Structure 1
Amino acid sequence: MNRRRIVFLFNLLQDVNVIRPMALLAREMNVDVLFLCSHKFAPRDKQKIWVPALQKLAAECGASITEYESPFAAYRLLQDGCGAIVTASESNLPAHTETHDVFRAAPSGYTRVTLQHGYECIGFLQNREHDLAHGRNVRFAADILAAWAPADRLTSMAWSERDKVFTTGPGLLLQQPTGRARSAEGMVCENLHSVRLSASGDLRQGFMADFGHFCTHLAARNETVYLRPHPGGQFLMRNDIAPPTNARMDTRPIYEVDLGAFAYGVSAPSSVLLDMVLAGLPTAVWADPEGVMDIGNYEGLTVIRRPRDWLAFHRDVRLRPAMILTRQRQFTTQLAMPLDADHVRRRFVELLMLASHRFDTPAAPSRIGGSTC
């Protein structure tokens, strides 16, 4: 009889953040846990942050890490087992080839699970810049698509994929650190590598100019701010761009960051905005002054477009935080996502049990029927 296991595939650096909550749940189940890592993962880790983070996670889960160089190599590693294969970045787009092809080649004894890896996620919920860069014909090799919201809210998902949806809610709710006393410092997040800031024109200089103006204002008040790069993009670091002197770089994995301890948060459109909102942080989304960039999926949050808007938001955080937080509660209500941490945890546990064949259910994908587990 084949060994029952749960296999996690890692390819992009941000996969560690997304997969981590499920991997920690898997260690509680009576199955083997295996990490398969594409040969491109380590070379992407220029700052030497994510390979150690992956090794630490493997140690916590009692998992081994094996690198694979091709779908055939991965198939050979998988063929003596059955259960579930889980990954965070999988689709028919070129950036996801290393996981997509493994899913296509996987032995039939495995149920393949793709996690929604962000709020605005390719093939789940896209924006105009995603559409321009990648089109709207995204497909998955997965049997189950673990989504943050019900299928009718996933406006970019192809109709042929919707029957695969299993609504979990966002996994980030499973790894929020306990809040401590809030400081006076805020956090600004950059995702300058994203097509969000390039597909409709180069908006990166505008973001950095606004941020520089804001830092000058803070410096006059003898204040500092934290600057957080995107875990995968790390645009400033990779392009050797020095931040303002009163901006402190924070490169820690998001699950090590106590967002609730900051005074406020600002970011261009990115999933970290939802992280901040759910942590109870007064949050603003940056957009270009001309309104070129699509921010429709964040409608309801505070928007800052010009340097004076940054200053007004900074003032309101001090004087009217309740106004901002009320607006954010209305925003999360309209998302129709499961946002209760205990409920989300139960959904992820149920997903793991279903995918790893721990119990029979009529909802199980048809491939499970051929399992020899």
Structure 2
Amino acid sequence: MAEITYHGYYRYTDIIFEWPKHLPDDQLQPLRAFLNAEALTDVDCPLRLPGADGLELFIGEWPNGHKRFLLSSKQLEFIRYYLYQSGMVDVLISLPSFAYLIHADEMKAVEPIILRDQLSLRRVLRDLDKSNKRIKKGTPESRMTDVQRELEEIRGRWDTAKKGGGGVFLAVDFESWEMDHSIVTEWGYAGVRWVPMKDGSGGVEEMREEGHLIAEDYKRYRNGKYVPNNTDYYRFGTSERIRTLPLFRSALKDLVEKWSSFSSEEGGGPLYLIFHDTTSDLSYLSLSSIDISTMQINLLSPSHLPSPPKPSEGPAKKVFALDTKGMYESVIKTAGTKTEKRSLETMVADLGFEEAEKFHNAGNDAHWTLSAFVKMVEVGKGGKVVLTFTE
């Protein structure tokens, strides 16, 4: 199978501390030796570009002013192939989870930086840490307002769609093989939209649809070491086993196109794709042969939400991504707790869905992602979501 690569960046700290946690001991030591600060900045480091006066890494700046030290995904690809070709490891080291991949459009800017020695590396890390701490101590009230404003905007879009004003909502989730996250073994979806009632009353009725698809070509790739293997435990219908990878991938593309057509037909609003962790799931969309740029997916961020379509403009053509992780951060801030962002399983429990089970099945996870989304938007503007924390 040809590997599809989705390029982006990884935080230096995630590469140093998180990536090694998921590797066996025989791969761990060679990787740590390569990533050692002294080795990275050595004049003979193979990551150095020919003729460069040092090692080129990157600094990414987020819209809130925070800056992070980054390596590119191409550099990680080089590292894993270098370790393999040099005989330091017997097999290619698996890439970090897509949960750690950062897309360029998530950041305000990405700038290269040349590190000439170990001292310069440590100096950059120190200066970034000081800068980020100053920003963190700055205006917590305004940061809280940003995330809460985003949730209120999403609630307004939901209310408009429920009244027949346009917009359809589709939650999508993916499961990949824990040893190689480019191998997507299953995906699931759960969607909600509103259509005109046939009685001529002018009202609308809610329509829901959900499903779970499994790639038969990948049935030998089973999880169980790091995450549960719940592929066969879909709770909301019958799983559909797709015989070939091309059909498996085209089915997802067909689904998104179908729901895009719904959005054009039913009020002219956008298609809102709902994920729990937008970064990794958008990468999985790309792995499933969906051209994100052609689909015009825009990530929602505070103060950058799309304006509703005007009647004179016709149907909206864009697809927007909503992240329940970010929404839940707003809910937590409104509740006055310092609880950090949580996994889907814990978030769903906090929102009171005691019957939820068999997570890490893509169909179940899509169902609960949509359920959590609805719970967070249905309270009405200015309302609070009732939480039952599972500390």
TM-score (norm. length: structure 2): 0.32
**Max radius of gyration: which structure?**
2
Instruction: Give the TM-score normalised by the residue count of structure 1.
Output: 0.33
